[in-house]
Structure 1
């Protein structure tokens, strides 16, 4: 009986741990600003030096 309780407790702890890891991967980050974020980086100089579509053809 004690063995079954211990195994059950270990199983619940392992299930909680895996669930917590999955939750942390899925939940959005607090300081994230999304997919279109440049996060304070100035890309204007880089964009000027990139070839445009007309020069590629």
Structure 2
């Protein structure tokens, strides 16, 4: 009986990890940080000028 409980707990843990891995791989690849992190991810109107001034 103990082995059955241990096997069940192990299978639930493996299922959880597989589910998390599948969600991570299926998530669209968007750059930047998470919400409300404090960094600015949107390009401003001055960004193209800064990039072109290095040429």
- The TM-score normalised by the length of structure 2 is 0.57
- The TM-score normalised by the length of structure 1 is 0.55
Superposition CA RMSD, Å? 2.3
Structure 1 residue runs of 4+, over 4 Å off?
none
**Residue segments in structure 2 that go unaligned for 5+ positions in a row:** 32-41
Whose helix proportion is higher, 1 or 2? 1
Larger CA Rg, structure 1 vs 2: 1
